[in-house]
Amino acid sequence: MIDPRRLRILRAVADHRTVTAAASALYLTPSAVSQQLNALEQETGHSLVMRSGKGARLTAAGEILLNHTHAVLAQLERAEAELAAYAGGAAGEVTMAAFATGIAEVVAPALGLLSSGHGDIRVRVRDAEGDESLPLVLDGEADIAVAVEYRGAPGADDPRLWRVPLYAEPFDAVLHAVHPLALEQRIALADLSEDDWIGPYPGNPCHDMVLLACELAGFPPRLLHSSDDFRAVVALAGAGAGVALVPRSALRGMELKDVVVRPVSGPSARRRVFAAVRRGAESHPLIRPVLEALVASAAGLSAD
């Protein structure tokens, strides 16, 4: 009989690529993870993980078991959801991980909606960048992620996650108020190919989106200044340090001193925001109302 707790460990190793990282995510010691993997190999009669100085990867047998692991763990999530529904009533705590703008745009309004109809559901919010929240959900540290599409993100068909789209928004060009193109009503990115650029650090999903938009416009941006805080990005643009692409919602309520904000003509970056939970948990009586509130609070946010 295969112990499902060991399947969670197998998936963590596959997700994190090393025993040490998997152990940290699961709040176990590396030796405990290794012991559980050894026990799982004894249960299955197969070698499942190959370890090397570069990390750990699954064997062919491990990959076969991993495919079944996704289905088994999703079914366990469904079982927990049905038992919770049978117990009656939605009362308890849900942890949600979301990036800062997502908290302002959809999470905070969703909490307001929940307070009026589901007062017994308590939501704990964690600030996490768009690429950090999904691993928190997969590792069991959060129940819901509000995340953005990014290069390498789990796709909509990922067997580990169930997703619901929330909103999409464009990136606008932010220029110094005396920039030669400041009087234009729309900006073609190709016209900014010779400018210095300001943008998020590599690893931030918006960094990849800016690079992709510029690549589609036919040039690599000369990124001289980096910050993950869009207020800092706008301040640098206002100081004439360079130009930037900023998600439209991040500019709302911001003091736009010494800058102009212009929509971009032609192909540009768009930030697509979605909520995700572990597959099978979407029907949990605590989680389902929170997802519904997120969808309701996001209605009408998508912009061209």
Region of 45 please: left (phi>0), alpha (psi -120 to 50) or beta: left
pLDDT of residue 71: 87
pLDDT of residue 89: 57
Domain 168-271 CATH (choose: 3.40.190.10, 3.30.1330.60, 3.40.50.300, 3.50.50.60): 3.40.190.10
Residues contacting residue 223 through CB under 8 Å, at least 6 positions apart: 197, 198, 199
- CB count, 10 Å around CB of 184? 15
Domain 89-166+272-298 CATH (choose: 3.90.1150.170, 3.30.565.10, 3.40.190.10, 3.10.105.10): 3.40.190.10
pLDDT of residue 269: 77
Residues of the chain predicted below pLDDT 50: none
**Residues 247, 234 contacting (CB under 8 angstroms):** no
> Looking at the DSSP assignment, which residues form a beta bridge with residue 164?
275
Residue 75 to residue 188: CA distance in whole angstroms: 49
The reply to whether 168-271 shares the fold of 89-166+272-298 is yes
pLDDT of residue 242: 97
User: In this structure, what token pair is assigned to residue 122?
Assistant: 């308590």
**Residues 210, 269 contacting (CB under 8 angstroms):** yes
Record the pTM.
0.76
Domain 4-82 CATH (choose: 1.20.120.1200, 4.10.320.10, 3.30.420.40, 1.10.10.10): 1.10.10.10
Residue 195 to residue 77: CA distance in whole angstroms: 51
Residues contacting residue 176 through CB under 8 Å, at least 6 positions apart: 182, 237, 238, 239, 240, 243, 258, 259, 260
pLDDT of residue 253: 83
pLDDT in tens, 238-282: 999 999 999 998 998 888 999 999 999 876 778 889 999 999 999
pLDDT of residue 80: 79
Domains of the chain by residue range: 4-82, 89-166+272-298, 168-271
Which of 264, 136, 277, 276 lies closest to 209, judged by CA? 264
pLDDT of residue 303: 60
